[in-house]
Each structure stands twice: as C-alpha cells, then as structure tokens.
Amino acid sequence: MRRKSPPPMAMKKPLLTRKHNTVQQFAQLVQLLSNSTKTNEKLDALSQYFATAPDKDKTWVLALFSGRRPKRTVNSTQLKNWCIQATGLPEWLFNECYLTVGDLAETIALLLPPHTHPASFPLYHWLQQLQQLEKATEAEKQAFILQAWDALDDSERFVFNKLITGGFRIGVSQKMMVNALAKTYDIPAATLSHMISGNWDPAQVTIEALLHQSTSGADASRPYPFYLAYALEDTPAGLGPIEAWQAEWKWDGIRGQIIKREGQLFVWSRGEELITDKFPEFTPLTGSLPDGTVIDGEILTYANGSPLPFQTLQTRIGRKNVTRKQLQEAPVAFLSYDLLEWEGADIREKPLIERRSILTQLIDLQQQPALLLSPEVNAASWDELALIREGARAQISEGLMLKKKSAPYQVGRKRGDWWKWKIDPYTIDAVMIYAQKGHGRRSNLYTDYTFAVKDGDQLVPFTKAYSGLTDKEIAEVDNWIKRHSLEKFGPVRTVEPKLVFEIAFEGIAASNRHKSGVALRFPRINRWRQDKPVSEINTLDDLKTLLRQSGSPEDKV
Amino acid sequence: MELLQFTDKGIWCAAGDFYIDPWKPVQRAVITHAHSDHARWGHQSYLSEHAGIPLLKLRLGADIHIQGVAYGENIFLNGVKLSLHPAGHMIGSAQVRVEYNGEVWVASGDYKLEADGISVPFEPVRCHTFITESTFGLPVYRWEPQQQLFSRITNWIYENQQAGKASVITAYSLGKAQRLLYHLQDKVSRIMGHGAITNVNELLLSQGYPLPTLERVTPDIPKAAFKNAVIIAPPSADDSAWMRRFTPYSLGVCSGWMQVRGHMRRRNADAGFALSDHADWNGLLQAVTATGASKVYATHGFSSVFARYLGEKGIDAQEVTTAYGDEETIINPET
Ligand SMILES: [Zn+2]
Ligand SMILES: [Zn+2]
C-alpha cells in the first residue's frame, strides 16, 4: 500500500509506555528472553535490564537466574487449589489446561479473571512479601496470594507465580548473564563470574557489594579457553603415520579445568561456570597442587578404577548442596588430559608431547585419588587401534580421541590437530506404544514417546525417547497420536502400535528396575521407519544379545 | 432417525439429502465457509452464502456448480427447511439451520462472537440441537478485546520501525489477513503482501470491501523498500527464502495458539499475538447458552473437554469426530 505522505503516527513513540521500576519491567524481560532465539538479543535485553532496573531488583534477578531460589513459603498445590477456588473450574479441567500449557505458573495466569485492583511494585517488594509469609497461616497466605493476583496483569502474574514455583526456563545460561553484567558494568567476564559465585543472599547483599570486591581473587581464577575437537568423518589412515598421534579414550563427563593459583583452587566447567563448590572431592588438591598450575580434563563419576555411567554424574550436577549419600554413591574424579599452565607460565604453545610428560610426572607425584591421568591408548597401527576402539563401550567410553603429538593447545573448535573418533551407536527398530506431551516450546505436542520391542506376540516397553525428529515429523506424529489414542484425558496416551522408529543409543546395561530388564544410555529417535511394518521390528532377544555383546557389567545403570 | 447424522462423508441430512461441509465427494454440499477443511473439492453441487461464492471459486475453481443464498433466506430441499445465518468467522461464513417436522438443528461451522469489522457479525440461532466447533474449547483461551490487541500490534510495528526493521506478520490468508489489513490500514504507511494474500485482497477489493490496496512483494522491489514496512505473509512462508529477503525484520505471528508461551517459542516468532477468528472459551459457552439447545455435539478442537464440561453443567453434550481441522493450527500447512 502506498500513500502520498506517511501519516504522522508512524513516526511517533510507542503508545504503551513501559512501567519502569516495577515487576512489569522484569515481566517484559522474561517475555523477551523466552521469545528470543538470538543470543545477542537476549544479551542486550539483559544488559539493558541491569543498566536500568532498581538495584534491589538486580540482585534478585541475578540470584533467580543463577539458581539461587528464594525460600519456598507457598507450594504448587496451594497455588493450584486457590486458583481452582477463585475460578470455580472443576479440577479435571484445570488439569487439562495444565497439560496443554505445560507450566503451572502460566496456566494459573491464563485462567484467573482479569485483575480489578491494579498496583505497581518492584520485583523485590513481591519477593520480600513472599519471604515474610514463612510463618503465616494457610489462610493468611491465601489472602496474600489472592490479593497479589488481583493486583497484577497477566504477564506480571506469570512471573509472580514463577517466583513461587521456581525455574525460569527461558534459555539464559550463567554465561550469558555473566556476559550481560560484564557489558553493563565493564568488568571482564571471567572476573565477574568469580564475583558472583559462592554463597550470598540477595535479600542481604547489594549489587555494589557483590561487584566491588577485590578483584585479585577473581583474576587468579581465570580459566583458559578450551580446545575442542571435530568428529573424524573418514578413517584415520588419512592422518599420516600413527606414531605422530596420541590416542586416548573419549570420556563422557563434564569437561573441566582445575586451577591452582595464589593458594586457591578453582574448578571450571566448559560452560565457563565455576563449579568448585559442587565437588568436595577436589578440596585436598588446594594443599597438594603447586601454585600456577592449570590442568585440562574430564570430571567423571569414578569408582574402583573405572568410570560410572553418566546418569550417576547427573545426580551430582544441578544441585547446590551435595549429600554424604551422593558422595558415596557417585564419587567423582578428574581424568587429566593436558597441562596448560605450569609454574605460573602459560605452556600451551609447547608441543603436546612435552606438556604431557610434565603432566604425567605431576600426577604421579600427587598421589591424589581424585586426580588421575587419562591413559594413553597404544597401538602399532591404525587397524589395531580400530580394533581397540570397538571395545570402547566396555570402558564406558564413547570412542577415541586422536591428538597430534607435536601440536600446541589451541583455542576453540579447530580442525587438524585433534579429532574425536566415536563409535557408531546401537540401533533397534521399535514401535511406539505410549505418548506424552512435551514441555516448553513443545507443550501441547506429543513429543515424548515410549517404545516397545516384540517378545513372542507381546510388546514389551523398553525405552522412552524424544528428539531426533524434524519439527514437521513431530507435527505429523502428533497429529496421528491425537487421532489414534485410546484415552481422552490425562497425561499419557496409549496409542495403537503402528508407528515404527529406529532408536539409537550409546550403551545398554542390565536393569531390574525396567520391565524389559535393560536400560539404555542416550536413547534417541534416529529416524521414522515409515517403510517398516510392525511385524518387522526387533525383539527382546535382540536387545539381550546386544547386552551380552556389550560386555557391560550387570546393573551399572 | 436423527435429522442430522455424522457419517464417514460428513454431516448428512437424510430427509433433505444434503451434506454440510462434507470431506468426501457428495451430490449436494452445503458449505459453511471457504476454509479448506470445510470446503473441499469434488462435490456435484455447492450451496453457500452469496458473499462466500467468489472465495469458494478462487479456492476450488471457477467451474464449480454453486448456488448462493442470503443470510436468513429460507430454501426447501425435499421438504426440509434450510437457512444460513451469520457466523462472524470470515466473509460469507454461515451457521446452517435445518428444520423438519418442527425440529431444529444448527451446525455452527467455525464462528467467533466479536465483530471483526469485515464479516457480518455472529447471530445466535435458537435450536433444539447445536453442532458447535470447539477449536479453543479450553478456559486458558480467553481473547483480549481486539482494539487492545491491535494497539499492541501497532506498537510492536513502531518499535520495529525505530529499530530500522521490517515487520513481517504471518496470518492465515483467508480471513485473518483481511482482518489485519482492515485494522492496520490507517496506522502504518506501507503495507505489502505475499502473493497468496494479495490475490485474495484484489478479489475482495473488486467486491467492494473496505480494504486497503496491497502492494505485492515481487523480486524486483529493491531491498531498501522493505525497511520500516509491514509485510503480511501466510504461515507457510515462515522461515523461507522468500521471507529472508526482508532482513532485518521482526516476525510476528497472529494466531489464537499464541495465547500459550510454548507455542510462541515453537514458532521462533519474535512476537505472538493471540488473534483468532474462532470463539474463545467464554464465547463458546455464551453461544451454546444463546441457542437454548438441549443437545450439543462438539466437533474439532478440544471437543472432548468441552463436551464433558457442558455435561457437568447439565447440557446433554457429546463429542463427534470429524475430519475438520483448524485453519489456524500449526500442524496443517496452509492449503
Ligand atoms: Zn474456518
Ligand atoms: Zn473449522
């Protein structure tokens, strides 16, 4: 449409003015962060927020987005019940809504009638009020929540409910938040990351106090950028003589750096997160490692000379406090790959063979149970190495790493000197028997499926799997499920056993917690076998054969 | 025998020997509106409201055999009295009222209660039995008044302009796109459209609808022209090479499904606006009550939920499986 002159309105300021200094500003931030798929946009929004929000709100946002949850004074069941009372909806209908929306805080925000007594307060006001409910009676709590709901608009209600239910899953990593703060306050990211680590209470600490501590400790913590490998697509024969290469098992844990400087120990993950507090196993290294040492390696759960399955490591991450039980059941060790700093000097330019020799001596002398050397795998030829690689699964490893002995330690993902040579996954053709809705961006779509193999004329469920399908396939499968499910209500749909999928997985172990007697590692949908009838899927015997062949110890999963 | 029955070809009136929105080829099809899940190819003869005829011909071909009737006009087929009544869903959309031996059934097709400015607004029709759509039959679907919604859209466009970006809005080409154009025409200086949208627009302009003329996006338009413009595209153009030519742009999706955050994120949209031509939860309840019907059948959408809820409220209600989809759904690509 073309007009002679643009109407003046087109140039005007936005009609709706943003309410600054209120929880609305935070609600808008959350909305933008959860909608945006662009890292730069998110970073700008965060940095803008930190530049303009009230100081007291900033500390809270920092706490919320770094997993420092405020104490829970109201629980999800209470919220749900009060919403049901306020709306007069039957409980089953509330549950249906929740299944579609996939998030309790949002479900409630959408169901409540429009507010009648709007009021604007900053974020910290609501958080303080919530904290003060700790010793309140149930009736007092309910009265406060109803009053708050009636004061907030839909988007504010959503974040308010989220403050209670916890977990803003909006794709903001610790790293992104650190970068945003670094931008706003003009402090190097590595320094900042250290400043906001550890234990602090957002209700007590001001943002100034957090960000104006002595920076010397922070500098001491600074990690080196990790060198990352590409996957080897061909055979390694193209890499030249095997003598020029060092092979190691490829471990499947958390890539990390252990830093000892100025009498302090720091453990970093590859995501630039300081995770020293999560692994008390490394505390003795503070005393034993010499100052000016940086080691690159993998954090694994490890016992009796061999790694434990990755699932056990998962019990250790994502938790603030480690229990004694976890320490016993899932002890960790650091399998060292490389030495980056020695006697205070950056030695990354030295060839691997030299770095490795210092590293080997260092670890030998340390005699620390939690600090090990990731062993070299020796072979006389590429063919022999290929044979050894076939046994990777028995080592709880994903394959081999190939590193050029003469190469320096580079920055980031680079081709040429380092390669990962993974083993092919196992595959099984199976039929879908149950479906469940996903979460987040996949709420209301059936994306989580349970698969079965044949056992005589029975179908035996053996794994759940999701991902691996394209959005278009997911939509197609979802549509099919909606038309072929046997239940109308509730979260799990039993479907006609018709759709066949190829399931890939990295490992298999015996398990008495599963009906099929096996548990899989990293099961995922490889592809939809529209060409395959159900009569041709794999059998339980096929799975048991894989189990025997894998040589995996009993009950490791 | 029931006056209207649910068969594998569609909703069938045995006494009058006609089908309503059949999904398999039949002799005589009464069509509620021109969306592809309701108006299909291959019927011997079609009957629709006058305003729907040009749209049906655009979609199904100029050579279909079609008869037009006005809203409220009675016609008789084998002694069965049939009339069409405004459904407010899109131009020419109708509810079908069928009367025989004193018994009245109404099949709603798709409908919404809010007057959109271009189509004839919904009118409730009293009946004994009501066949209702229930696309958004869940209480989380509650639309905000359109004036408020359009000012949010306008606001978003201004913000994009300030950031030097084009505003690309996806909206279903038949119905939703015209509603957008009608409401945005005085607020922005330059609106362009994908061919699928301009085709429909030209047709409707020739019929005298109060719509703006719409500039078609063609390969020879210089890239600079897109800066600060509003471009309306069908949902199928999402993330295509066609769309990338507008870079830098911000993508807004207009669909009732945008009410839920998860859906918005799935679309990779920069903004989602819950603009729908279907009734929301309260609209459905209000419509059912206004018919005074003692028996209700719920079709497409959250039909099982909606029927169960009506049942608990003392209305004899049942869900029916049909082949109607939903033109807004993310799953079915636009046809
Ligand atoms: Zn429709
Ligand atoms: Zn429809």
> What is the topology classification, in CATH, of domain B146-273?
Rossmann fold (3.40.50)
Stretch B181-188: mean pLDDT, rounded? 92
Domain segments of chain B as ranges = 5-140+277-331, 146-273
Could you give the 3-state DSSP secondary structure of residue B105? strand
Predicted local confidence at residue A555, as pLDDT: 39
Distance B261 CA to ligand 1 centre (A): 23
**What is the pLDDT, as a whole number, of residue B235?**
87
Q: Which pLDDT band holds residue A442 (cuts at 50, 70, 90)?
A: low
> Does position A98 have pLDDT exceeding 90, yes or no?
yes
Cβ-Cβ contacts under 8 Å, A92 against chain B: 308
Distance A128 CA to ligand 1 centre (A): 48
Residues of B within 8 A of A35 (CB-CB) are: 264-265, 269-272
pLDDT at A439: 66
**Interface TM-score (ipTM) > 0.90:** yes
pLDDT at A530: 86
Question: Is B152 within 8 Å of chain A by CB?
Answer: yes
CATH number for region A227-422? 3.30.470.30
Q: What values do phi and psi take at B150, rounded to 5?
A: -65, -30
A13 contacts chain B (CB < 8 A): yes
A486 close to B (CB below 8 A): no
Residues of B in contact with A2 (CB under 8 A): 190, 215
Q: Are A391 and A367 in contact (CB under 8 A)?
A: no
Angle between helical axes of B176-184 and B146-162 (0-180°, round to 10): 70
pLDDT at A5: 42
Q: Which residues of A touch B228 (CB under 8 A)?
A: 10
Q: Does A2 touch chain B (CB under 8 A)?
A: yes
Contact between A93 and B309 using a beta-carbon 8 Å cutoff:
yes
Is B211 a residue whose pLDDT tops 90?
Answer: yes
* DSSP symbols for A344-401: TEE-TTS-HHHHHHHHHHHHHHH--TTEEE--B---SSHHHHHHHHHTGGGGT--EEE
Chain A contact for B212 (CB, 8 A cutoff): yes
A488: how many CB neighbours lie within 10 A of its CB? 13
Cα–ligand 2 centroid distance for B133 (angstroms)? 7
Between A252 and A67, the higher pLDDT residue: A252
The answer to whether B130 contacts chain A (CB < 8 Å) is no
The pTM of this model reads: 0.74
Task: Flag whether pLDDT at B332 surpasses 60.
Answer: no
On chain A, the residues whose CB falls within 8 A of the CB of B312 are 90
Q: What are phi and psi of A458, to 5 degrees?
A: -95, 155
pLDDT band at A297 (very low <50, low <70, confident <90, very high): very high
Question: What digits encode the pLDDT tens for the residues A381-392?
Answer: 999 999 999 888
Q: Which two tokens stand for residue A228?
A: 């990352």
CA of B262 to the centre of ligand 1 (A): 23
Second-level CATH architecture of A426-550: Beta Barrel (2.40)
Q: Is residue B216 within 8 angstroms of chain A, CB to CB?
A: no
Q: What count of CB pairs under 8 Å joins A to B?
A: 108
Is there a contact between B259 and A110 if contact means CB atoms under 8 Å apart? yes
- B70 class by beta-carbon count within 10 Å (0-12 exposed, 13-18 middle, 19+ buried): exposed
How many other C-beta atoms lie within 10 A of the C-beta of residue B72? 12
A3 and B189: CB-CB below 8 Å? Answer: yes
The residue of chain A nearest to residue B269, with distances taken between CA atoms, is: A35
| Ligand 1 geometric centre to CA of B110 (Å) | 5
- One-letter amino acid at A544 equals K
User: For residues A195 and A59, which has the higher predicted lDDT (pLDDT)?
Assistant: A59
Determine, for residues A479 and B260 on separate chains, whether the beta-carbon distance falls below 8 Å.
no
User: Between A35, A92, A106, which is nearest B271 by CB?
Assistant: A35
Q: How far is residue A196's CA from residue A273's CA, in Å, rounded to a whole number?
A: 11
Are B161 and A6 a contacting pair at CB < 8 A? no
CB contact under 8 A, B140 and A441: no
Contact status of A4 with chain B (Cβ, < 8 Å): no
Please check whether residue B258 is in contact with residue B273, taking contact to mean a CB–CB distance below 8 angstroms: yes
Minimum distance, in Å, between the CA of residue B108 and any CA atom of chain A = 22
Dihedral over Cα of B181, B184, B187, B191: its sign:
negative
pLDDT, one tens digit per residue, over A340-359 is 999 999 999 999 999 999 99
CA separation for the pair A147, A22 (Å, rounded): 17
pLDDT-derived band of residue A320, with 50, 70 and 90 as boundaries? low
- Tell me what pLDDT residue A14 has: 38
Burial class of residue A307, CB neighbours in 10 A (0-12, 13-18, 19+): buried
The ligand whose atoms approach the alpha carbon of B52 most closely is 1
Tell me the ligand closest to B276's alpha carbon. 1
**For residue range A196-227, what is the model confidence (pLDDT) as tens digits?**
766 678 888 888 888 875 544 556 777 888 88
Q: Is B265 on the interface with A (CB under 8 A)?
A: yes
* CATH, domain range A1-218: 1.10.3260.10
- Reported as a single tens digit per residue, the pLDDT across A165-182 is 877 767 777 778 888 988
A474 band by pLDDT with thresholds 50, 70 and 90: confident
pLDDT over threshold 80, residue B170: yes
Terminal C-alpha separation, chain B: 36
Cβ-based neighbours of B254, under 8 Å, separated by 6 or more:
B153, B169, B170, B171, B176, B180, B273, B275
| Residues in chain A within 8 Å Cβ distance of B221 | none
Instruction: Give the fold, CATH level 3, of B5-140+277-331.
Output: Metallo-beta-lactamase; Chain A (3.60.15)
Long-range contacts of B236-239 (CB under 8 A, 24+ apart): B236/B196, B236/B333, B236/B334, B237/B170, B237/B194, B237/B196, B238/B170, B238/B267, B239/B268
In chain A, domain spans: 1-218, 227-422, 426-550
